[in-house]
Amino acid sequence: PPPFTGVWMGDSKLCAIGVHCGNHITSHGLALNCCTDLTWFDHIIPCGLEGKGVTSLSHELGQHVAVSHVLEPFLASFQEVFDCTLVSSEDPG
């Protein structure tokens, strides 16, 4: 919910999105919780947001969701939404 960034399921963050700027370098990224051990978040205030939680695809769907199951459809959707072609640094040439 605005003004919070990321992807939310109610009051729990499923995916964090961030941008960092420093020393004339800008970096960005996201963290999609697939099968994360959520108990680690019991020891911190995630993203500095008091009263908000963290969730995962596995928790929300009630079944194990591995990163390997999500990666290909996620990247395909990313390319479609942003009208781009992703190139892996592992691809030759």
Look at residue 90 in the predicted model and tell me its pLDDT. 73
Confirm whether 15 is a catalytic residue. Answer: no
pTM: 0.80
Look at residue 4 in the predicted model and tell me its pLDDT. 83
Contact call for residues 36 and 70 (beta carbons, < 8 A) = no
The per-residue pLDDT string of the chain (93 residues; one tens digit each, 9 = 90 and over) reads 567 889 999 989 999 988 889 999 999 898 999 999 999 998 998 888 888 899 999 999 999 999 999 999 999 999 999 999 998 877 665
The CA distance from 1 to 15, in Å, is 13
Q: Tokens representing 2?
A: 């605005």
Please give the full DSSP string across 25-85, using - where no structure is assigned.
Answer: EEEEEEEE-SS--GGGGGGS-GGG-TT-EE--HHHHHTS---HHHHHHHHHHHHHHHHT--
Q: Which of 21, 34, 35, 47 is catalytic?
A: 47
